[in-house]
Structure 1
């Protein structure tokens, strides 16, 4: 497997503004226990909704309209639970102890995936090295879509701003039945295995979670309900398609807009920025402060605050973001917050630009 030198960021100056920002956040925001309690309530609420909608499937699923309705609502609750509570627990940001947070993370096994591998991908690669080619595996997931400027170009990429509209709704199914196996068994572009050795236990959990998920999502409803299997299967597919569309908004709106930068490291690994300046350069907010968006998307609407304070509950971020904006103006660094629609539009503009072969000479591909 290819060996690469880890990125090394510049050391901050003694008068770096981030120290002042941290102090202000600690003194004025983080001492609120109510915001932490709010996050825990959301964690149990979303888990209750997910399990509750499943119970409604088994109770009222003989009505075909209700069968589809409750599958879709369960899918939405799954995505919202993942984006809000699982994501925070993965950062150790909900409960007091690491053990409690890790226990909550097993909801991802309930969804059919592997929580340990997701956590390692996210904490060892995405957060330390966001948008850095060959390191951020949340950006580079497949050759089907070209986002990094130094990624290999295929002729079909010129249509990616079109066909990705049809592939993004398949995101959760691709994750469960392709990407998970690529993380465990793949060798090409497997960034994770450069920094982490997967324990044997996780291979067992990988298959156990998928079998368990398919059994309770498909087999048990078929055995309990008086519905043909094809209708249950179709409701399950519909759940994944619609819930993926809800989740993809968060994934494409924070790092990969048309103005995104993808800094390259030198041969010795050195980066041109400090870690903080890098996070600010590559991270964007969307619909920050909108009450519905904040409730549904947790730490993704205020994603700049999340990348600067990753171990802090997302319920604090609406209070932290104004402080970040104040320092952005005072210390002359960019802060961007798109509307949700503008963020999605900007992402597809990026796809179109990265799929244009005439731009390759500027991207370093030629």
Structure 2
């Protein structure tokens, strides 16, 4: 694990902060990236760094991001309080719960995600506060940091390591995964599974990682006393805010309908946005060499080949998903705030063209969804 943490720091050297250093134990042999001089990754970092230097721009979030965060958090509490105190008619209540699910997802995309990557602010304290907005989702920031920041961002689409493509027998999300007959219909029932994602994440996945002490095949870092305390505080907070207080205020049945509405809407949005970035028909699923355990491409090329952008010209989607439609840029530069992705995407496109690498981009959300459905169909055929 120490080698893994060190390697990750080297990959992101100019953007790394100690907030990422979650690894501190032994681990099974993990795939390695080829060692290359004058690499694509070095070229990309150099040109992007030049952009920020020449324009005298900070890599972290700016007023636009902070304003968005205030709007989203204020919207969350306004709807939450109106549902409990105002207790609107059932049809308005359902609509508000659905909207609350959208806001919860957007807070995750914009505030928690940037904070977790250390790009929300120059202040480490502000980044930590932003990252703990995950408590609004009831999700453990400790588990998210290891699963997402460390594992997924390094071993993207590597079957057996990247936990994001490990959904068990219900879905086949990589060519190397075992095929079952039910997968023939996964392009139909995926909607229902994605809707359940939030409930599964908060009420099962976090606890499974906590008690099993591992994420997939990767052992979990030994948690400190503070880590354990934070884990349970978040879970208790979530239970109080989303379960106990609402039941007391509006009753059990109304709470159940409202909570399911919020969770299913938010779960689908969270799932589909992340899946459109990697599980599409044009993305690759690299396999390490059996003898050397080396992946076929260096880090930057690996990220570009396994990642896709979508609807990057759509200002509404870009605002709502926190730049996660610019996933190529995000995977190359996770320590740069999503506010800057539209600008640096032009740099990345130019470098990809020079290196004769395909820059996977779907012009609209609809085309990205079609690419994802086609991928699910392909995986379902065996």
- What TM-score results when the alignment is normalised by the length of structure 2? 0.85
| Contact 2:152 2:164 (C-alpha < 8 Å) held by counterparts | yes
- Determine the C-alpha separation between the residues in 2 that align with 1:263 and 1:180: 27
CA–CA separation in structure 2 for the residues paired with 1:33 and 1:348: 35
- The equivalent residue for 1:286 is 310
- Shift in alpha-carbon separation, 1:345–1:199, aligned structure 2, 3 A: farther
- Of 139, 148, 151, which residue of structure 2 is paired with 1:122? 148
Aligned partners of 1:29 and 1:319 also within 8 Å: no
Structure 2 partner of 1:265:
288
Q: Write out aligned runs for 1:95-134 (5 A).
A: 95-134=121-160
* Aligned twin of 2:11: none
Task: Report 1:275-314 matches (<5 A).
Answer: 275-314=299-338
Q: What is residue 53 of structure 2 aligned with on the other side?
A: 27
Give the distance between the partners of 2:36 and 2:171, measured in 1 at CA: 35
Note the residue ranges of structure 1 that are not aligned, 5 or more in a row: 358-366
Across the aligned residues of Structure 1 and Structure 2, the Cα RMSD in angstroms comes to 2.5
Q: Distance in 2 between matches of 1:244 and 1:299?
A: 18
**Pairing of 1:25-64 with structure 2 (within 5 A):** 25-28=51-54, 31=57, 36-64=62-90
**For the structure 1 residues 101 and 15, does the alpha-carbon distance in structure 2 shift closer, same or farther, using more than 3 Å as the test?**
closer
Deviation string, structure 1 residues 165-188 (Cα, Å, up to 9, x no partner) = 221111111111122122223479
Q: 1:279 to 1:303 in 2, by over 3 A?
A: same
Q: What does residue 165 of structure 1 align with?
A: 191
Aligned residue for 2:275? 252
Name 1:361's counterpart in structure 2: none
TM value normalised by structure 1: 0.88
Partner-residue secondary structure (3-state), 1:143: helix
Q: Compute the displacement of 1:117 (Å).
A: 0.8
Match of 2:14 in 1: none
Q: Does 1:92 align with 2:118?
A: yes
CA contact (8 A) 1:299 1:314 kept: yes
Q: 1:128 to 1:103 in 2, by over 3 A?
A: same
- The aligned residue for residue 367 of structure 2 is 342
Residue 360 of structure 1 is matched in structure 2 by none
Equivalent residue, structure 2, for 1:191: 217
Which residue of 313, 317, 332 maps to 2:356? 332
Alignment of 1:107-256 (within 5 A): 107-186=133-212, 190-193=216-219, 196-199=221-224, 201-224=226-249, 227-256=250-279
Structure 2, gaps ≥5 residues long: 1-25
- Measured at CA, do residues 29 and 296 of structure 1 come closer, stay the same or move farther in structure 2, by a change above 3 Å? farther
Q: CA deviation at 1:283?
A: 1.0
In the alignment, which residue of structure 1 is the partner of 2:381? Answer: 356
Q: What is residue 320 of structure 1 aligned with on the other side? A: 344
**Maintained 8 Å contact 1:184/1:198:** no
Deviations 1:69-98 (A, max 9, x none): 322222111100001111000000012232
